[in-house]
Amino acid sequence: MRKIFASLDIGSYSIKLIVGEIQKNKLNVLSCVDVLSGGIKKGFIVNSESAELALKEAFSKTEEMIGIPIKEVLVSVPCYNLDCFISSGSTTITSEDKIIKHSDVTHAMQGSVYNKINDNQELVSILPTKYIINDEETVANPIGMVANKLTVNDVAVVIPKKNAEAILKSLEKLKIKVVDIIVSPLADYYEFRNEDTNHEVGAVVNLGSSSTTVSIFNKGILTSCEVIDIGSSTIDSDIAYIFKVSKKDATYLKEKLVVADLHIAQPSESVMLEDVNGESIKVSQYDVSAVALSRLNEIFNLIKKQINLLTKKEISYIIVSGGISELGSFSNFLESVFGTKGIVGNTSEIGARHNKYSVALGMIKYYNSRLKMRNAEYSIFSLDEQEEFGGAHKRVNISDNSLLGKIYGYFFDN
């Protein structure tokens, strides 16, 4: 079975819908759609009618691209008031051969949160930290080992149910099944993790349009998270106010002209625009970059304070993502704030090479890792749909007499 997933990242500025396939542990993007949001504030749906129109547009554009409607998705939900707690669960190995299977690990993890989650909370993830065999031996991977008892120490991640309720209700109206809900810190981490991050303590920062999420990971385990109510849209507002231009023109100036290092900003490079009074104005790269950097410095001072509040441990890395991290020379800015610990978490997948897609891409990688833990298979498409998607019945007949046919034969028949 082909492993095809769809992930939906609902942001305040835009909605991202990605369809991707995992092949040989690599994510290949099959379609990538980005539409302007409506009725969404700080990740929450505040106007269901407007939000559902934007969601419909995202799904319609995706269907146009791949030829098959998307009926199942992974979806991101706000992580306001996210909580992580340490827990432990055990299970008795009941099979005759006493060999630990994936289902035994799942049972132990489920036992670790039984009766520990409040009625107003939603379980997002259970992240194993340690496996113990027969109350004696700690092992890295218990699968296939012989034992009478398995204990799993883990960290459970929960959010208030209200964070997801409106999103789930809107998708249900659109007849879209939600396979799993995922929070952005886990998605970002799985998009950017490497061998070093799996053994260190670090921070992951996603600077969104209206809010900034700061998370701490200890050896790949999410331990704490906080949302700061300020995002990159404040830069647009500052530019619009200072230069007296529309919000649309301010966003254009930010994306096309701003660089995150004043040392390389050029006073001679400029853009001519009309201000809100209809008068022509010239905006230089240096001037608009100075405005943006003033706000960026304020935001990152808050981020530094938040990291210090979330952990007292030595931080080895600080990965920063979100659309704003695509600004020119952003790595220089990060180095000025965090030194060598600051890292721009660039996405590398062809078809989605922009940091605004980091959450949507990471959701697929995260969910695939959960499937591996359960030894389970999944695809959003049935076998029949996969055949249709693969184009098995839509192949173009190439005549041997055509120029394309002759070229095709030259390369593949010799």
Same domain membership, residue 133 and residue 204: no
The string over 152-170, giving b where at least 16 C-beta atoms fall within 10 Å of a residue's C-beta and e elsewhere, is bbbbbbbbbeebbebbbeb
Mean pLDDT of 161-187: 97
In a domain, 246, yes or no: yes
126-149 pLDDT, tens digit each: 999 999 999 999 999 999 999 999
175-207 pLDDT, tens digit each: 999 999 999 999 999 999 999 999 999 999 999
In a domain, 354, yes or no: no
Q: What is the CATH number of the domain that holds 228?
A: 3.30.420.40
As for how many domains the chain has, the answer is 3
Same domain membership, residue 145 and residue 93: yes
pTM for the full model?
A: 0.90
Angle subtended by helix axes 285-310 and 247-256, to nearest 10: 90
In a domain, 22, yes or no: no
Tally Cβ neighbours within 10 Å of residue 130.
12
Reported as half-sphere exposure (CB side, CA atoms, 13 A), residue 331 has a value of 5
Mean pLDDT of 40-69: 95
Distance CA 169, CA 52 (A): 10
Same domain membership, residue 311 and residue 243: yes
In a domain, 303, yes or no: yes
Structural domain of 299: 195-346
Q: Which of 173, 161, 180, 141 is nearest to 55 (CA)?
A: 173
In a domain, 409, yes or no: yes
Contacts 24+ apart (CB under 8 A), 274-279: 274/245, 275/243, 275/244, 275/245, 276/244, 276/245, 276/246, 277/244
Determine the 3-state secondary structure of 173 from DSSP. Answer: helix
Q: Which token pair is 252?
A: 């254009």
Domain boundary among 133, 159, 185: 159
Terminal Cα-to-Cα distance of the chain (whole angstroms): 33
